[in-house]
Amino acid sequence: MTDIPLKEQIAPGGEPMTVRDLASCPPPQRWRDWVEYDAKAWPRKVERHYEIIPTICFNCEAACGLLAYIDKESGRVKKLEGNPYHPGSRGRNCAKGPATINQINDPERILYPLRRTGKRGEGRWERVTWDEVLDTFAAKIRQALVEGRRDEIMYHVGRPGHDGYMERVLGAWGVDGHNSHTNVCSSSARFGYHIWCGMDRPSPDYANARFILLISSHLETGHYFNPQAQRIMEGKMKGAKLAVMDPRLSNTASMADYWLPTWPGSEAAVLLAMAHVILAEGLFDREFMRRWVNWQEFLAAEHPDEPQTFDRFVEVLLALYSQYTPAFAAQESGLSAEVIVDIARQIGHAGSAFAAHTWRAATAGNLGGWQVSRALWFLSVLTGSIGTPGGTAPNAWNKFVPTPFLKPSPSEVWNELLFPPEYPLANYEMSILLPYFLREGRGKLAVYFTRVYNPVWTNPDGTSWIEMLTNEQQIELHAALTPVWSETAWYADYVLPMGHASERHDLMSQETHAGRWIGFRQPVLRVYQQHQGKPVRYTYEANPGEVWEEDEFWIELSWRIDPDGNLGIRRYFESPYRPGEKLTIEEYYRWIFENSVPGLPEVAAKEQLTPLEYMQKYGAFEIPQEKSPVFRLHEQALSPADLEGAQVDERNGIIRRNSAAIGVMVDGKAYAGFPTPSRKLEFYSATLKDWGWPQYSVPGVTRSHVHPSNIDHARGEYLLIPTFRLPTLIHTRSGNAKWLYEISNANPVWIHPHDAVRMGVQTGDLVRVTTEIGYYVNRAWVTEGIRPGIVACSHHLGRWRLETSGGPDRWASTLVELRREENGIWRMRQREGIRPFESDDPDSARIFWREGGVHQNLAFPVHPDPVSGMHCWHQKVRVERAHEEDRYGDVVVDTHKAYEVYRQWLAMTRPQPERADGLRRPLWMIRPYRPANSAFKR
Ligand code: SF4
DSSP state string for 64-84: -EEEEEEETTTTEEEEEEE-T
Q: What is the DSSP letter of 397?
A: G
Q: How far is CA 213 from CA 249, 807, 815, 922, in A?
A: 15, 42, 42, 32
Does 13 have pLDDT greater than 80? Answer: no
Q: Which of 557, 689, 422 is nearest to 137 (CA)?
A: 557
Query: What pLDDT does residue 7 have?
Result: 39
* Residue 646, CA distances (Å) to 294, 672, 677 in order: 21, 13, 16
> Is the CB–ligand 1 distance for residue 229 below 6 Å?
no
Residue 691 in this model has a pLDDT that exceeds 80: yes
Give distance in angstroms: CA of 617 to centre of ligand 1. Answer: 20
pLDDT tier at 218 (50, 70, 90 boundaries)?
low
**Residue 487 CA, ligand 1 centroid: distance in Å:** 24
Task: Give yes or no for residue 609 having a pLDDT over 60.
Answer: yes
pLDDT value of residue 18: 45
Tell me how far the alpha carbon of residue 153 lies from the centroid of ligand 1, in angstroms.
32
Phi, psi of 895 (to 5 degrees): -75, -25
The mean per-residue pLDDT over the stretch 169-184 comes to 96
The three-state (H, E, C) secondary structure of 258-279, written as one string? EEECCCCCCHHHHHHHHHHHHH
Instruction: Judge if the beta carbon of residue 64 lies within 6 A of ligand 1.
Output: yes
Which helix H or strand E contains 440, and what residues bound it?
A: none
The alpha carbon of 364 and the centre of ligand 1 are apart by a number of angstroms equal to 22
Q: Pick the atom of ligand 1 nearest to 59's CA.
A: 7
pLDDT tens track for 755-764: 999 999 999 9
Query: How many angstroms does the Cα of residue 740 sit away from the middle of ligand 1?
Result: 13
Amino acid 367: pLDDT: 98
Beta carbons of 442 and 420 less than 8 angstroms apart = yes
Q: How confident is the model at residue 591 (pLDDT cuts 50, 70, 90)?
A: very high
The residue contributing the CA closest to ligand 1 atom 6 is 94
What value does the mean pLDDT take over residues 643-653? 93
Ligand 1 and 226: CB distance under 6 A: yes
The answer, yes or no, to whether any atom of ligand 1 lies below 6 A from the CB of 353, is no
Tens digits of per-residue pLDDT, 785-825? 999 999 999 988 999 999 988 899 999 999 999 999 988 89
How remote is the CA of residue 38 from the centroid of ligand 1, in Å?
A: 27
Q: Which parts of 38-185 are beta strand (E)?
A: 47-56, 65-71, 76-82, 114-116, 125-127, 153-157, 178-180
Give the pLDDT score at 8.
42
Is 225 a pocket residue for ligand 1 (Cβ < 6 Å)? yes
The torsion angles phi and psi of 464, rounded to 5 degrees, stand at -65, -30
* Best of 221, 225, 452, 728 for a ligand 1 pocket test (most atoms within 8 Å of beta carbon): 225
Can you give the pLDDT at residue 224? 76
Task: Tell which wins on pLDDT, 805 or 703.
Answer: 703
Contact in structure between 365 and 265 (CB atoms under 8 Å)? yes
Is the pLDDT reported for residue 561 higher than 90? Answer: yes
Determine the pLDDT at residue 805.
82
pLDDT greater than 60 at residue 10: no
Measured from the CA of 60, which atom of ligand 1 is nearest? 2
Phi then psi for 849, rounded to 5 degrees? -85, 150
How many whole angstroms from 94 Cα to the centroid of ligand 1?
Answer: 6
Q: What is the rounded distance in angstroms from the CA atom of residue 66 to the CA atom of residue 238? A: 28
pLDDT given at position 219: 64
- Residue 222's pLDDT band, with cuts at 50, 70 and 90, is low
Local confidence band at 734 (pLDDT 50, 70, 90 cut-offs): confident
Nearest one of 486, 503, 502 to 451, comparing CA atoms: 486
For ligand 1, atom 2, the nearest C-alpha belongs to 60
pLDDT at 119 over 90: yes
- The rounded Å distance from CA 82 to ligand 1 centre is 10
Contacts of 540 (CB under 8 A, 6+ apart): 130, 546, 547, 548, 549
Residue 17 has pLDDT above 60, yes or no: no
For residue 742, is pLDDT > 70?
yes
Q: Are strands 660-666 and 669-671 parallel, antiparallel or unpaired?
A: antiparallel
Residue 725 has pLDDT above 90, yes or no: no
Residue 915: what pLDDT? Answer: 84
Across the range 534-546, mean pLDDT stands at 97
Residue 262 Cβ inside 6 Å of ligand 1? The answer reads no
Instruction: Kindly tell me if the per-residue pLDDT of 829 is higher than 60.
Output: yes
- The total number of residues shown for the chain amounts to 938
Name the closest-CA residue to atom 1, ligand 1: 226
Beta bridge partners of 237: none
SS3 436: helix
Q: How far, in Å, from the CA of 362 to the mean position of ligand 1?
A: 23
Whether 21 has a pLDDT exceeding 50, the answer reads no
pLDDT tens-digit series, residues 881-926: 999 999 999 999 999 999 999 999 999 999 987 888 999 999 999 9
* pLDDT computed for residue 217 by the predictor: 62
User: Would you say 743 and 728 are in contact if contact means Cβ atoms under 8 Å apart?
Assistant: yes
Q: Check pocket membership of 438 for ligand 1, CB cut-off 6 A.
A: no
**pLDDT tens for residues 572-586?**
999 999 999 999 999
Ligand 1 pocket member 93 (CB < 6 A): yes
Cis before residue 410, ω within 30 degrees of 0?
no
Neighbours of 412 (CB within 10 A): 13
Residues in CB range of 625: below 8 A, 6 or more apart = 515
Average pLDDT across the chain, whole number: 94
Q: Which of 59, 83, 732, 744 to mutate to test the pocket of ligand 1 (most atoms within 8 A of CB)?
A: 59
Which of 18-32, 348-362, 436-450, 889-903 shows the lowest per-residue confidence on average (mean pLDDT)?
18-32
The total of other beta-carbon atoms located within 10 Å of residue 331's CB is: 15
- How many angstroms separate the alpha carbon of residue 56 from the centre of ligand 1? 9
